[in-house]
Amino acid sequence: MMKKELQYFSLDEFEKASSDKVPNQYLDNAYEILSILDVIRHHYGHPLVILAGGGYRNADFNEKLDGAKSSRHLIAQAMDVRPLKSNNFGEIKVIKALTEKLLAEKLLKTESHLGIGIYDRCEKSFIHIDCRKGQKARWEGK
C-alpha cells in the first residue's frame, strides 16, 4: 500500500477518530474515503473534523455505538464529519449539497457510489459519507 498525499486529512487523524488502527486489508478503503473528504474540504473552504468514533470501527465498538451491523465504518469506508466551528444543521445541509454538486461535476475521484446521511442531533449535527458498491444511498436521521 502506497501512502497517498492528502492536503487536509491524514491517516493518523482518521485513526485518532477510530476505535483502533486501520487493519492493513482496509487501508485502501481508508485512503479512498479520505481522498473524497479532502476534495470536499477543499471546495467547502473551511476546516472539517472527523468525529470521535467517526472513522474505522471494530465490531465491538460499532455495537457499543449502536452502529448498523453492515456499517461501512467496519471496513474503513466511512467517516462522520462536521465543520470545525459549527454544530449547525444548516451547515451540514450545505456540505451535503456541495457533495452532491461535486459528484455531479465528477470532481470526486471514486469508482464507488456514495452513501450520504445527515444527522440533526441537539448535541451534534454531522454528515456521514461512505463508499459502497451497488446503488447510492441518501438518508436523514435524528
11-134 CATH choice from 3.30.1380.10, 3.40.50.1370, 3.30.360.10, 3.40.50.300: 3.30.1380.10
- Asked whether the CA dihedral 61, 128, 103, 49 is positive or negative, the reply is negative
3-state SS, one letter per residue, for 61-94: HHHHCCCCCCCHHHHCCEEEEEECCCCCHHHHHH
φ, ψ dihedrals at 120, nearest 5°? -115, 95
Nearest Cα to Cα of residue 61 among 97, 106, 15, 101: 15
93-119 confidence digits (pLDDT tens)? 999 999 999 999 999 988 889 999 999
In b/e form, how buried is each residue of 52-80, taking b as 16+ CB within 10 angstroms? ebbbbbeeebbeeeebeeebbbbbbbbbb
More confident residue, 29 or 1: 29
Taking every pair of Cα atoms in the chain, the longest distance, rounded to a whole number of angstroms, is 40
The band of 85, judged by pLDDT with boundaries at 50, 70 and 90, is confident
More confident residue, 83 or 109: 83
The band of 142, judged by pLDDT with boundaries at 50, 70 and 90, is low
pTM of the model: 0.91
Distances (CA, A) of 68 to 26, 64, 79, 104, 140: 18, 11, 14, 28, 15
